[in-house]
Amino acid sequence: MATEKKRPPGRWKPGQSGNPAGRPQGKGDVAKLRADIADRVPQLLGQLFTQAMAGDVGAARLLLERSIAPLKAIEAPQALHLPDGTLTEQGRAVLGAVAAGELAPGQGAALLGAIGTLARVTEVDELTRRIEKLEAEHGNT
């Protein structure tokens, strides 16, 4: 029978506050500052907009960065014909296409990652097939 571990005097139980009558949340200096700012957001945005329209590049940049999501670079899809052969031959074809400038390096890396994943899946399938064959020949133990 397990005995319950006793806590030394003065220790709190898990989840119990050491000062339950302490300062309530939202009453500190930071909370007051945030509330003051929140009350003035429309005025602040209006002033920032006015400054941006008057040519203040910093104000314009701040407005744009906070209101429009940044654009992400994308690579155009590129057709690539891989040889019907081993995964190694296909990987070499991808590297050759990158080296020849026919395929962007990011696309080549993604394709090589996909070929690597396919190799692992193929390996698992092959091992499963071998195990099933051995179990069929020698019986399940």
Highest mean pLDDT among 1-5, 14-18, 70-74: 70-74
Query: Is the CA virtual torsion 85, 88, 94, 95 positive or negative?
Result: negative
What DSSP line would sit under 112-125, residue for residue?
Answer: HHHHHHHHHHHHHH
Give the per-residue pLDDT at 134.
93
In the chain, what are the domain boundaries? Answer: 29-67, 87-138
Please check whether residue 109 is in contact with residue 126, taking contact to mean a CB–CB distance below 8 angstroms: no
What pLDDT, in 10s, does the model give residues 80-129? 889 999 999 999 999 999 999 999 899 999 999 999 999 999 999 999 99
What pLDDT, in 10s, does the model give residues 48-68? 999 999 999 999 999 999 889
What DSSP line would sit under 76-107, residue for residue?
Answer: --------SS-HHHHHHHHHHHHHTTSS-HHH
